Amino acid sequence: MGPQDPSAKIRALVVDDEPLARSNLSVLLRLDPAIEIVGECGSGMDALEKIRSARPDLLFLDVQMPECDGFDVLEMLGPDLPPAVVFVTAYDQYALRAFEAGALDYLLKPFDNPRFDRALERAKLAIKRGNGAPRALDRLAIKSVGEILFVRISEIDWIEAADYYACLHVGPRRHLLRRSMGDLEKELDPQAFCRIHRSTIVNLARVERMEINADGEYGVLLDNGTSLRMSRRYSKELQSRLGVRQGHLS
């Protein structure tokens, strides 16, 4: 994402379930000739579709919306997250979590024009600094009760399918992520993660050894003692990913 040259306009999307709030933000954005508004959305689900199609550089995102709030949007966007996100809300209790979730700024309603201008300048500077740089997926956003957690991908031990969710195992903790295993497999670094079963993905750095038990079933033992079932079809792929370090079955 992001403008392709310094003269290109910054593409902005406004998401808020209140029409007046959307209108106020759009009016302020149109005062800046460097901004192009690519759309307004009144719900989180509409925002997801619009972000993926319009690929804005800047997102003004309301926190509290029915059915799918601002934290839900961040969780489900994955690598489609715009370069600059500014949260907009009437409630200050979400500020810390917003910044932890990667928000560039946090506008508390009602805000005045100078405060908006500061947020917009921060966003423009951040977009300029990151222009042309690929976005590295190093964390996953996970919606929790009234907040969003960011889990570092390098800290994930393994991932398992859980109905319509993916369950991330991070040490003794488990986190449910509303993403499919197929989507996660495409997004994760293949040099760091490998699918060993239709319902299991492992962090290669956690693999201690591969095994075949007495019944001829394949398995993977992690360095924390976790034993995982492995499909035969994935065994050669895992050995290839592990390379000469651990390329044999025990």
pLDDT per position as a tens digit, 95-133: 555 555 556 788 888 899 999 999 999 899 888 877 544
pLDDT classification of 14: cutoffs 50, 70, 90: very high
Which DSSP string do the residues of 207-232 spell out, in sequence order? EEEEEE-TTS-EEEEETTS-EEEE-H
Stretch among 23-27, 208-212, 213-217 having the lowest mean pLDDT: 213-217
Q: For residues 202 and 177, give the distance between their C-alpha atoms in angstroms, rounded to a whole number.
A: 16
Does this model's pTM top 0.75? no
Tokens of 86: 């500014």
Q: What percent of the chain has pLDDT over 70?
A: 85
The residue among 213, 217, 204 whose CA lies nearest residue 246 is: 204
Return the biggest CA–CA distance within the chain.
72
Q: Whole-number mean pLDDT of the chain? A: 84
Average pLDDT over residues 171-187: 87
Average pLDDT over residues 166-189: 89
CB 38 within 8 A of CB 11: yes
What residues contact residue 202 under an 8 Å CB cut-off, 6+ apart? 157, 158, 159, 193, 194, 196, 220, 222, 228, 238
CB 99 within 8 A of CB 148: no
Which DSSP string do the residues of 230-250 spell out, in sequence order? E-HHHHHHHHHHHGGGS-SB-
Phi, psi of 107 (to 5 degrees): -95, 120
Stretch among 8-12, 44-48, 67-71, 137-141 having the lowest mean pLDDT: 137-141
Average pLDDT over residues 3-19: 82
Residue 194 has pLDDT above 60, yes or no: yes
Q: What percent of the chain has pLDDT over 90?
A: 45
Token match 């804005």: residue? 56
Question: Interior CA angle at 47 toward 9 and 6, to 5°?
Answer: 15
Task: Please list the helix, strand and coil fractions of the chain in percent, rounded to the nearest 5, in that order.
Answer: 35, 30, 30
Distances in whole angstroms, Cα of residue 173 to Cα of each of 141, 159, 178, 216: 15, 12, 17, 31
User: Residue 82, preceding bond cis, omega within 30 degrees?
Assistant: no
Higher-confidence residue of 107 and 25: namely: 25
Average pLDDT over residues 179-183: 84
